[in-house]
Amino acid sequence: MFPDIPTIGEFVPGYESSVWFGIAARRQTPAEIVELLNKEINAGLSDPTLNTRLGEFGGTALKGTSAEFETLFVGDAQKWAKVMRAANIKSE
């Protein structure tokens, strides 16, 4: 978005961070409900007006399956848990 401003990754090798938002349901939610929610949410994320607005803030709509979202969620939880352990950060 700002090509003339160096990224943190250019100053701190290996640095990676991102912000994302997601919609979750209880694990006991029936699969057909999860599939319907996923279908409708992905349809909403395909809206050109929404994508234009997100782009104005540097965002991107990421559509996918519930399994892909779970992979993202679990991966980020593991990554940040490792960071918290290494820095001796305690959750409150």
| Averaged pLDDT, 68-74 | 95
Q: What is the pLDDT of residues 1-48, one digit of tens each?
A: 788 998 888 888 888 888 999 999 999 999 999 999 999 999 999 999
Other CB atoms within 10 Å distance of the CB of residue 38 = 19
Quickly state the pLDDT bin for 74 (edges 50, 70, 90): very high
pLDDT number for residue 58: 87
pTM: 0.74
Q: How far apart are CA 54 and CA 61, in angstroms?
A: 7
